[in-house]
Amino acid sequence: MPKYQAPRGTRDLLPAEMRTWHDLEALGRELAGLYGYQPIETPLFEDAAVFERAIGTATDVVEKELFRVSSPGGDADRWALRPEATAGVARAYVQHGMQTLPQPVRFSTFGTMFRYDRPQAGRYRQFWQWNVEAIGDTGPAVDAEIIELGLRFLRRAGVSEVEVHLNSIGDGACRPAYVAALVEYLRRFEGTLPELERSRLATNPLRVLDSKDSRMAPILASAPVITDFLCDACREHYQSLQAHLERLEIVPRQAPHLVRGLDYYTRTTFEYFRPGHEGQQSALGGGGRYDGLLELLGAKPTPGIGLALGIDRIAGALGDRNGAAAAAAATRPVAVVVGADPTGTDLRLRMATDLRAAGVAAGADLAQRKLARQLENAARDGAHFAVVIGDELTAGQVQLRDLQAGTQRLVNVAELARELLRAHAGHRHGES
């Protein structure tokens, strides 16, 4: 085994897999454009306080998983790699005074997140997400827009059968009564609660609903549900959201224990699953409303809602469908420049460079080997044409050999690029 490996919890995305990544990123860009979500990029690291304030210190994401970065110069622990996109986007919204823009402001971003969690299947320390956020709209129509957008992404990506799990976790007006009822219920089991859940009961009781411990399942099955405690405003919001979803022909599954791991959520929370794959590490994405978040970051009260889809998990669900063959096809050259003189690498490189400058995907055999070997390699690389440099070059011509048709003809170098593009396009047209 080589001495140096990718760090635990990370992995290399090799060329075959990059094809899927690029496709999913392009899909995100296309849908963001269609739905009017503008691109934004925020730094991969922020003041740790941005996450501590926004996400909450009594959450797994901050308490256990925040990837803190110590920098030279004594700023130990000041910075942290972003564990999710919303806090950074919200920070940018406040910093750049976007409250003065027409609301809501819709954003989308694609990139890596970092969580220093225990690595396991479907849970990496560096992973990719596609995110959208709509800041400055109380919903519930925009909630439905975002839920539908996530579903569309998953369907267009090729994930068959996706289910939306939906819940409302109320707001500051009604959640306290629910939390009190939950605490009272859980206290009855205090003696049997796993240690982690007992400490959550003390610091952040809602998080117990998020428990990954199988011993909790029977206890939670009969726990009170938040939807029974919603105040009128939250209940109305939730009912109206469901009416909007119905209008979009989306039938969500009610998930009364879906509180999600982050503190800042209010009202709407949702996650996407493939039926039969509903385990802890199986959510393909999720999101929710965060009406309290912007204020925590120093803005006037501003509502918002966002969505994050897990690209690694979506790629996993798609399997190797795009695979190595498709990746190789994408980089297959139209032409490879070869030559009768094995040592004429300068001529071959120059001609390939000119072809590339003219927009032709071209290779050149830069090893000093015989013409027959150069042609063999061009065919192995899947090139459509070989451009053969020989004596005709003194008359400004080269042989253009169609490796697929087995034909050959003389072409003027001045017309070579145009001729290649024309012949290759015609060939591809004939294929489809």
Q: Which residues contact ligand AMP by CB under 6 A?
A: 84, 115, 117, 122-124, 127, 129, 260-261, 283-286, 308, 310, 312-313
Long-range contacts of 404-410 (CB under 8 A, 24+ apart): none
Q: Which residue is nearest to ligand AMP (CB)?
A: 310
- Considering beta carbons, is residue 135 or 386 the nearer one to ligand AMP? 135
Find all residues with CB under 8 Å of 147, minimum gap 6, and list them.
164, 166, 245, 250, 252, 270, 287, 307
Q: Exposure string (b/e) for 108-141, b if CB count within 10 Å is 16 or more? A: bbbbebbbbbeeeebbbbbbbbbbbbbbbbbbbe
Which residue lies nearer to ligand AMP by CB, 148 or 210? 210
Residue closer to ligand AMP by CB (options 48, 352) is 48
Quote the least distance from Cβ 42 to ligand AMP, whole Å: 16
As measured in angstroms, the least distance from the Cβ of 10 to ligand AMP is 10
For the chain, how many helices (H) and strands (E)? 15, 16
Least CB distance to ligand AMP at residue 125 (A): 7
Q: E strands within 31-135? A: 38-39, 45-47, 68-69, 79-81, 105-114, 126-135
Q: Where are the alpha helices (DSSP H) in 209-344?
A: 217-221, 232-247, 293-296, 311-318, 323-330
Q: What is the C-alpha end-to-end distance of the chain, expressed in Å?
A: 45
The span from the CA of 30 to the CA of 279, in Å, is: 30
Instruction: Order across the sheet with 266-273: list the strands.
Output: 38-39, 105-114, 126-135, 304-310, 285-289, 266-273, 163-168, 253-254
Q: CA-CA distance, 379 to 64, in Å (whole number)?
A: 53
Q: Give the C-alpha separation, 123 to 136, whole Å.
A: 32
Residues 178 and 167: their CA atoms lie apart, in Å, by 14
Q: Which is nearer to ligand AMP, 122 or 390 (CB)?
A: 122
Residue 229 to residue 14: CA distance in whole angstroms = 49
Beta-carbon neighbour count of residue 199 at 10 Å?
A: 14
Between 297 and 317, name the residue whose CB sits nearer to ligand AMP. 317
Cβ distance to ligand AMP smaller for residue 52 or 341: 52
Looking at the Cβ atoms of 19 and 82, the one nearer to ligand AMP is 82
Q: How far is the CB of 287 from ligand AMP (least distance, A)?
A: 7
Q: How far is the CB of 313 from ligand AMP (least distance, A)?
A: 4
**Amino acid at the residue 97:** G
Residue 353 Cβ, how far from ligand AMP at the closest point, in Å?
Answer: 41
Report CA dihedral (132, 134, 138, 143) to the nearest 10 degrees.
-30
Q: Among positive and negative, which fits the CA dihedral 331, 337, 340, 345?
A: negative
**Which residue lies nearer to ligand AMP by CB, 271 or 365?**
271
Q: Using CA of residue 9, residue 14, residue 19, residue 25, what is the dihedral sign?
A: positive
CB of 127 to ligand AMP, least distance (A): 3
Question: For residue 190, how many other CB atoms are within 10 A of its CB?
Answer: 10
| Least distance CB 368 / ligand AMP (angstroms) | 47
Min dist CB 17 to ligand AMP, Å, is: 14
Q: Smallest gap, in angstroms, from Cβ of residue 281 to ligand AMP?
A: 8
Residue pair 153/278 in contact by the 8 Å Cβ criterion: no
Shorter beta-carbon distance to ligand AMP: residue 284 or 297:
284
What is the distance, to the nearest Å, from the Cα of residue 398 to the centroid of all Cα atoms in its chain?
A: 47
Identity of the residue, 117 or 213, whose beta carbon is nearer to ligand AMP in the bound complex: 117
Compute the least distance from the CB of residue 412 to ligand AMP, in Å: 55
Q: Which is nearer to ligand AMP, 209 or 283 (CB)?
A: 283
